[in-house]
Amino acid sequence: MGHKFKFRATPVPNWNVVIEGEVLVVEPNEQLSYTWSSMSMSGGVAWTLTPTKTGTLVRMEQSGFREDQEANCEGAKYGWQKSISNLDKVVAGLKWNIDSTSIKGKLAEDDPA
């Protein structure tokens, strides 16, 4: 916790696509939350994992938009829908390391072996 980071992507009109953040909560297999800030806006993102009978419910909640930032909120909604819709492709590309105490996934192209 306390780790600071930057997400960067290809700039789009009216946004440089640089998001700075700091990790607030890490509870393995349960929750990840972090702050975000970009172009004078800021807030938080929380991911929670909840076991179900058939797998895991993944929930993401972003906060921090003011009432006068509806266009920004809609832009974030579009971006999250695009990113989350690709989550199954990312998971499918993971190389899994499973032992008696943990399950870890790593992107196959990141593996030097």
Q: Which domains does the chain have, with CATH numbers?
A: 4-110 (3.30.530.20)
pLDDT of residue 22: 96
> CB-based burial of residue 19 (10 Å sphere; 0-12 exposed, 13-18 middle, 19+ buried)?
buried
Among the listed residues 88, 78, 7, the one whose alpha carbon sits nearest the alpha carbon of residue 55: 88
Q: pLDDT category, 113, cuts 50, 70, 90?
A: very low
Please tell me what DSSP assigns to residue 50.
E
How far apart CA 68 and CA 62 sit, in angstroms, is 16
Q: pLDDT per residue over 65-112, tens digit each?
A: 888 888 888 888 888 888 888 888 877 777 776 666 666 655 555 445
Distance in angstroms between the alpha carbons of the first and the last residue of the chain: 30
> CB-based burial of residue 109 (10 Å sphere; 0-12 exposed, 13-18 middle, 19+ buried)?
exposed
Question: Helices marked H in 1-113 — which ranges?
Answer: 70-85, 87-92
pLDDT of residue 41: 85
Q: pLDDT per residue over 12-57, tens digit each?
A: 888 888 989 999 999 998 999 999 998 888 889 999 999 999 888 8
Give percent of the chain with pLDDT exceeding 70. 84
- pTM metric for this prediction: 0.71
